[in-house]
Structure formats: structure tokens, C-alpha cells
């Protein structure tokens, strides 16, 4: 079974330390949800894991099955089995999702990409016509999110970091996406680290573990009941100012 | 002594009105200054490095040197390859140095006349109706174009398949190395393709015009002029591709006019040449007319691409929409300069101008100069331009899918071009354009790698 290990991770962006000591262990097939208020460092954590230029890991370790990812460029982390569904997927004019994924999977598997794309699109109700558009160009916010999940399904990474995957999606779409991700956990043992601001994802996606991120640190971890408690009490109990950026 | 004297112009022959026109142009040329970089229209260009004494007009009066044989074989192969890429075509005209050498007409043509000037019989005054006036380079073409490629579409004729025109331009000796010495004249060839496309009222046609020459080194000067007119309600789609060798200077003019409610689409793609200039002037002359201008360029080596556009509005309720995209790699550079002009009376004009430039290497450079000249109030105009390297976020996004940076960049650059190539007004040309861009980008990255 695969293992994603994050140890005492510190990361800064824009010259400010935003992630200040995060420890996580996600095994293949597990679903972990990191919840936190605005500005708690959720997106920075996601980009630190993927290796976005400009987000600097200042100390700590990120390992997939023992391979150290800190210091590796994003594409090598992807090849080590990590995937990031972006909160705001980037428009790449003129580049079809098919062309990008064919390049990503390499020549031997490229022939399978068109069929796999159609299957994955069908599984979450992503209009096949959108597969003929350039990446994220002329797509609504919700369509972009679905497009990320379609790509996740084709690439079959070991671990997926989902950054606010539910934002922009209506209830039915959140449900379809959650079903697809859950299926992936048994289909190929996908490990999931979902980062979210809202509780509503947890109504659809069954989490094994819930973590609370405040001020760049995980201040609490527990089972799904932790999310319910958060829904009642808010983040205030963890020292966060409600609504603070 | 210049090889561009009036005697040589008149010796090209043709009907009396044309000989007179050539002679007048040659006389004017003799007293006209060459363009200067001090003029706004030639700013940022190497035009002052152009010395006419280095060139002699083609075709030359006597027999051409034997070294032309190899060049012609390349030309014939090029035309064949292009024809294979455009199997559904209404006609194919091939010229060498501006003189038609073959005209293939399909049954699709119907009443459309395609060929050299002779297809118009005794008609006079065929030239200069759309492009009036002009500088010394226009006069050069006026004096030395050997024939005219004519596409004449009568009223209400509708052509769905493109008419293809290929101008093969002979390249001279390279400045690098002496060659095999077969060519005795040290002057490099200059050639002057001339094309007239006329669409009668309510008609519709697509035209592809390719200016090509032997790839690689070999000096030359190519000064093409194309005049397009779309009559009332006509729809003209025109795409031009320039793939000359790396030492050739290409200085082209495309002049277009759209009548009442006509739609005129142009696309110019500059890939070859040492200095590649394409100037497109599109006049929305009739009320309700629409012009769409597209341009693309890819610079490699030490190329200079220079795109000038004029969106000229002379009538009410006219629309123009320009999109120009270019990338410069290695030590190449580009200039885009465009003007939206709204004349008095052209009320309710809509005019849009967008220029995007990718700068792929530190040694490359792009200038973008949008301009507005608006003499009317009730108009909507906008312009936007960008110059910069490949977008970091786009690269990161593709890398996050497992694509290495060099491939991610290639995909982004190819996508940048695909975005405009897919909008080619002549859809049949998309595949060819795409392959040309892919091949050139691959060559750049293998040199850099």
C-alpha cells in the first residue's frame, strides 16, 4: 500500500511563512480532509506539496512511498504519484486536455487517453464537448473543477490533493465528484487529501480522517465527527478569528 | 548601375496600358527615396540595410542560369506537397518569380476566372484600384511584376473549395560561402508577385496565397502586392503563408476593401525570411461591412518579423476585428504596429485590436505599438497587447500533470499558435500551418537542447 508522509512541513510564499509545521500520514485508499478558515494556509499547503514555483518549503519532508519530494520540480512529484486539483485551474489557450494528458502519460499509454477521457467525463457528467476545448478556456468555474477530476481519473495518481474541489459545483455535481473519488480509493487505492473551507464536501465525501488547519498548523485531528463538531462550533474554539483573512 | 531602370520594366511586355503603367512606375521610382527608419511606418525595422544595387529583377530578360534547375525542382516538389495537403481545391496557380507557369482549374470553379492577366481579355486598369499610391517598394512592384495572378469571381458565384496560389521565388547565392559559382551575376534575385482577387456582389470565395522559396541560405528580395476587393454582400476569406529561405527579405503589401455588408477575412502567417514584413490595410468601405484580420509570426535565429495593420473605417455600422499573435525565439525580434482609423461619418463603428507576443529567449525581443485615430464620436474601439515570456502558471499547471518543463513550454507555445491557426479563414489550411509551426518549433528546441 502507498504512503504519503508529510513531516514538520514549513512553507512560505511571498516572503511570509504560511505553513508552520504540518505532519500528515495518508495511506493509499484513505480519505483525509483538511479544514480551515480563510487564510489558514490551505492552498499554500497544497502548492507546497505539489512544488509550485514561488511557494518555498523552508524545512520538513514530503515523501511518497519513501521518495523525498522536497527539492523536486512539480513534474517529478507528479511522476512520483502526486496529483493536485487546483482551486483555480489555469487556462492554457490552444492546448486540448487530450494533448496535455497524452504528453503526461507518455507514448505507450497515449493511445488510451481519448477513450479514458470519455469514460471519466461520463462518470461525473462532464459534457464531452468540453474535451474539445482548450484547457479551462471558456469553461465555467464548475466545469473547470470537473475537468480536474476527469484528468485525475485518467492519470490515476497514487495521491490526490484536492484544493477546494467543491467550490463552484452544485449539489449534484459535488455528489458525482465525491462518488468518483471514493470509487478511485478502491479502484486503484487512491489516497486523498482534500483541502476545504466548507463542510458541505463532507456531506458527500466520506472522510477517514479530518484535520483542522489554523495559522499554518494542524490544531486538531479526528474522525468524521470532528467535522460535525466544527459545523456547530466554528473555528473559534481553535483560536481562529471567525472570518479573519 | 541599378538593374531597375525603365527599359527593363517596359521589356517585361504586356498590353499597352500595362507597359505604360510599368514605365510610369519606373520613372517615379528613379526619383523616389527608399523608405527610412525615421518614418513611423518603418520604425524598428532594418529597412535602411536594403540596397537595391544588391539585387536584379526576375525573371531576367535572357536565359536564366543553369543553377535555376535545382531551385525549380525544389519549387515543383513544394507545389506538389502543398497540393497534396489541399486536395479539395477549386484551382491551383503556380508562379515562378511572379510569372504563372501552371494553372490547374477544377470543375468546381464554375464561372470563376483564374489565371494570369490574360484571363481578363482586353480589360484595362486592373491594378491599383485597391492599393493606390504607395512608396518606392510599391513602385518597384508596379514596374517589375512580370504578370498578374487574377481571381475574378462573378456576382453571386459561391465557391466552397479554396483557390490556391503559390509563388515560388528563386533564391540567390548565400552570403555564407561562395556556392558552386554557377550563378555569374553577383546580384541576388528580386521578385515581384502581384495578385488581384475580385469578388462580385453576393459572391463568396476562399483564396490561399503562399510565397515560398528554397529553404536555408540564399539571398533574395521578394516584394509581393495583393489587392482584394469584396463587392456588396460578398464574403472573401484569404490566407497568406510566407515560407521563404532564411536570408531572403520579404516586404509585402496586402490591401483589401469591403463593400456594403461584405465580410472580408484575412490571415497572414510569416515564418520564413531574414526580414519579413507584412502590411495589411483593410478598408471597411460600405455600410455594414466587416473585416477580420489575423496575423501570426514565429521568429527563430536572427529573423525580424514586422507586421503592420490598418483597420480603416469609412462607412457607418462597420466592424473590424484584429488578432495578431507572434512568438520570438533565439535572437529574433518582432514588431507589431497597428492603427484603427475611424473616418468622419463612420458612426457606430466597432473596432477591436489585440496583439499577443511570446518572448521565448533572453536574446529575443518584441515591440507592440497599437494606435487609434478616431474622428467620430459614436464608436466603440478597444485595443490590447501583451509582451512576455511563457506564463509561469500555465507551465506549472502542465508540470503538475507530470509534463517536463521543456515539453510543457512546447505545448504552451504550440497552443498559443493553435489558438489563432484554428481560426484560419481558410479551414483547409489549418493542418499545413500547424505542421509548419510544429516543425520550426522542434528545430528551435533541438538547437537549444
Q: Which of B399, B407, B413, B417 to mutate to test the interface with A (most CBs of A within 10 A)?
A: B399
For residue A3, give the H/E element and its range: strand A3-13
Residues 208-227 on B with a CB inside 8 Å of A are none
B438 in A contact zone (CB under 8 Å): no
* Residue B289: alpha-carbon gap to chain centroid: 22
Cα three-residue angle B63-B64-B67, rounded to 5 degrees: 140
Angle between helices B392-399 and B405-421 (to 10 degrees): 120
Q: Does B362 touch chain A (CB under 8 A)?
A: no
How far is the C-alpha of A221 from the C-alpha of B4, rounded, in Å?
Answer: 86
**pLDDT tens per residue across all 449 residues of chain B:** 688 999 999 999 899 999 999 999 999 999 999 999 999 999 999 999 999 999 999 887 655 555 578 889 999 999 999 999 999 999 999 999 999 999 999 999 999 999 999 999 999 999 999 998 899 999 999 999 999 999 999 999 999 999 999 999 998 877 655 444 444 458 999 999 999 999 999 999 999 999 999 998 899 999 999 999 999 999 999 999 999 999 999 999 999 999 999 999 999 999 999 999 999 999 999 999 999 999 999 999 999 999 999 999 999 999 999 999 999 999 999 999 999 999 999 999 999 999 999 999 999 999 999 999 999 999 999 999 999 999 999 999 999 999 999 999 999 999 999 999 999 999 999 999 999 999 999 888 777 65
Q: Domain segments of chain A: what residues?
A: 3-89+157-238
A50: chain B residues, CB-CB within 8 Å: 400
| Least Cα separation, residue A135 to chain B (angstroms) | 10
Q: Phi/psi class of residue A21: alpha, beta or left (left: φ > 0; alpha: ψ in -120 to 50)?
A: left
Query: CB burial class (10 A; 0-12, 13-18, 19+) of residue B303?
Result: buried
> CB-based contact (8 Å) between B399 and chain A?
yes
Sign of CA dihedral A98, A104, A108, A109: negative
Which residue in chain A has the smallest CA separation from B407? A103
Q: Is residue A206's pLDDT more than 80?
A: yes
Q: B45 by DSSP, 3-state: which?
A: coil
Considering all CA atoms of chain B, what is the largest pairwise distance in Å, rounded to the nearest integer?
A: 68
Partner A contacted by B411 (CB < 8 A) = yes
| Residue among A129, A134, A43 at smallest CA distance from A88 | A43
Q: Do B416 and A103 touch (CB under 8 A)?
A: no
- Map residue B17 onto helix, strand or coil: helix
Question: Cβ B419–A134 below 8 Å, yes or no?
Answer: yes
* ipTM higher than the 0.90 cut: yes
CB contact under 8 A, B419 and A86: no
Name which of B296, B391, B397, B433 to mutate to probe chain A: the one with the most chain A Cβ atoms within 10 A of its Cβ: B397
Nearest C-alpha neighbor of B288 from the set B346, B353, B352: B346
CATH class of the domain defined by A3-89+157-238: alpha beta
User: Does a cis peptide bond (omega within 30 degrees of 0) precede residue A110?
Assistant: no
- Residues of chain A that touch chain B, judged by Cβ-Cβ distance less than 8 Å: 50, 52-54, 73-75, 78-79, 83-84, 86, 89-95, 99-101, 103-105, 134-135, 151, 155
Reported confidence tier of residue A244, pLDDT bands at 50, 70, 90: very low
List CB contacts (< 8 A) between B398 and chain A.
Answer: 92, 95, 100, 103
Chain A: residue whose CA lies nearest to B398: A100
Secondary structure string (H, E, C) spanning A96-139:
EHHHHHHHHHCHHHHCCHHHHHHHHHHHCCCCHHHHHCEECCCC
Distance CA B133, CA A18 (A): 65
Could you tell me if B419 and A94 are in contact, meaning their C-beta atoms sit under 8 angstroms apart?
yes
**By the CB < 8 Å criterion, does B418 face chain A?**
yes
Q: What is the DSSP string of B250-270?
A: EEEEEEEEE-TT-EEEEEEEE
Cite the DSSP H helix spans in B67-213: 68-85, 136-144
CA atoms within 13 A on the CB side of B241: 24
Q: Do B394 and A92 touch (CB under 8 A)?
A: yes
Amino acid at each position: 500500500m502507498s504512503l504519503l508522509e508529510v513531516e514538520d512541513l514549513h512553507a512560505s510564499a511571498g516572503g511570509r511563512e504560511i505553513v508552520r509545521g504540518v505532519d500528515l500520514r495518508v495511506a493509499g485508499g484513505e480519505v483525509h480532509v483538511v479544514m480551515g478558515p480563510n487564510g489558514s494556509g490551505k492552498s499554500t499547503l497544497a502548492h507546497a506539496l505539489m512544488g509550485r514555483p514561488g511557494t518555498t518549503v523552508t524545512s520538513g519532508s514530503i515523501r511518497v512511498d519513501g521518495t523525498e519530494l522536497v527539492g523536486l520540480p512539480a513534474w517529478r512529484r507528479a511522476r512520483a504519484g502526486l496529483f493536485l486539483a487546483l482551486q483555480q485551474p489555469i487556462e492554457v489557450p490552444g492546448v486540448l486536455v487530450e494533448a496535455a494528458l497524452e504528453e503526461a502519460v507518455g507514448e505507450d499509454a497515449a493511445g488510451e487517453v481519448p477513450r479514458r477521457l470519455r469514460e471519466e467525463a461520463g462518470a461525473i457528467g462532464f459534457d464531452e464537448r468540453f474535451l474539445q476545448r482548450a484547457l479551462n478556456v471558456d469553461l465555467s468555474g464548475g466545469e473547470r473543477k470537473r475537468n480536474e477530476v476527469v484528468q485525475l481519473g485518467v492519470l490515476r495518481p497514487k495521491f490526490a490533493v484536492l484544493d477546494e474541489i467543491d467550490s463552484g459545483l452544485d449539489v449534484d455535481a459535488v455528489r458525482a465528484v465525491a462518488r468518483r473519488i471514493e470509487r478511485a480509493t478502491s479502484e486503484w487505492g487512491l489516497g486523498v487529501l482534500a483541502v476545504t473551507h466548507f463542510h458541505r464536501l463532507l456531506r458527500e465525501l466520506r472522510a477517514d480522517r479530518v484535520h483542522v488547519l489554523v495559522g499554518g498548523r494542524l490544531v486538531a485531528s479526528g474522525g468524521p465527527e470532528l467535522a460535525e463538531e466544527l459545523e456547530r462550533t466554528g473555528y473559534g474554539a481553535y483560536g481562529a478569528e471567525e472570518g479573519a483573512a | 548601375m541599378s538593374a531597375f531602370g525603365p527599359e527593363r520594366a517596359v521589356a517585361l511586355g504586356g498590353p499597352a496600358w500595362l507597359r505604360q503603367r510599368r514605365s510610369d512606375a519606373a520613372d517615379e521610382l528613379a526619383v523616389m527615396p527608399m523608405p527610412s527608419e525615421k518614418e513611423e511606418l518603418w520604425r524598428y525595422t532594418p529597412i535602411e540595410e536594403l540596397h537595391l544595387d544588391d539585387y536584379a529583377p526576375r525573371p531576367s530578360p535572357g536565359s536564366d542560369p543553369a543553377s535555376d534547375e535545382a531551385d525549380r525542382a525544389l519549387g515543383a516538389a513544394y507545389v506538389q506537397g502543398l497540393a497534396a495537403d489541399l486536395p479539395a481545391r477549386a484551382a491551383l496557380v503556380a508562379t515562378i518569380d511572379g510569372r504563372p507557369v501552371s494553372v490547374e482549374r477544377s470543375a468546381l470553379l464554375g464561372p470563376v476566372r483564374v489565371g494570369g492577366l490574360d484571363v481578363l481579355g482586353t480589360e484595362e486598369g486592373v491594378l491599383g484600384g485597391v492599393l493606390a499610391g504607395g512608396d518606392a517598394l510599391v513602385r518597384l512592384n508596379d514596374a517589375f511584376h512580370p504578370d498578374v495572378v487574377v481571381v475574378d469571381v462573378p456576382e453571386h458565384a459561391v465557391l466552397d473549395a479554396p483557390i490556391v496560389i503559390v509563388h515560388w521565388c528563386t533564391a540567390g547565392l548565400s552570403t555564407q560561402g561562395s556556392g558552386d559559382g554557377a550563378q555569374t551575376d553577383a546580384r541576388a534575385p528580386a521578385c515581384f508577385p502581384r495578385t488581384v482577387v475580385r469578388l462580385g456582389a453576393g459572391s463568396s470565395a476562399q483564396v490561399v496565397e503562399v510565397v515560398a522559396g528554397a529553404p536555408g541560405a540564399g539571398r533574395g528580395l521578394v516584394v509581393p502586392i495583393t489587392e482584394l476587393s469584396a463587392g456588396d454582400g460578398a464574403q472573401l476569406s484569404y490566407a497568406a503563408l510566407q515560407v521563404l529561405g532564411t536570408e531572403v527579405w520579404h516586404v509585402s503589401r496586402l490591401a483589401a476593401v469591403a463593400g456594403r455588408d461584405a465580410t472580408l477575412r484575412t490571415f497572414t502567417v510569416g515564418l520564413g525570411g531574414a526580414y519579413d514584413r507584412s502590411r495589411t490595410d483593410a478598408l471597411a468601405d460600405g455600410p455594414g461591412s466587416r473585416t477580420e484580420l489575423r496575423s501570426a509570426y514565429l521568429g527563430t535565429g536572427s529573423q525580424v518579423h514586422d507586421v503592420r495593420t490598418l483597420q480603416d473605417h469609412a462607412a457607418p455600422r462597420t466592424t473590424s476585428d484584429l488578432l495578431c499573435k507572434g512568438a520570438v525565439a533565439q535572437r529574433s525580434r518582432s514588431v507589431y504596429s497597428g492603427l484603427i482609423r475611424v473616418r468622419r461619418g463612420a458612426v457606430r463603428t466597432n473596432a477591436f485590436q489585440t496583439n499577443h507576443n511570446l518572448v521565448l529567449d533572453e536574446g529575443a525581443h518584441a515591440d507592440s505599438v497599437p494606435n487609434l485615430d478616431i474622428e467620430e464620436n459614436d464608436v466603440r474601439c478597444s485595443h490590447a497587447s501583451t509582451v512576455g515570456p511563457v506564463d509561469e502558471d500555465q507551465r506549472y499547471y502542465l508540470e503538475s500533470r507530470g509534463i517536463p518543463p521543456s515539453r510543457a513550454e512546447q505545448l504552451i507555445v504550440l497552443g498559443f499558435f493553435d489558438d489563432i491557426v484554428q481560426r484560419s479563414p481558410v479551414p483547409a489550411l489549418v493542418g499545413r500551418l500547424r505542421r509548419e509551426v510544429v516543425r520550426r518549433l522542434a528545430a528551435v528546441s533541438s538547437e537549444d537542447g
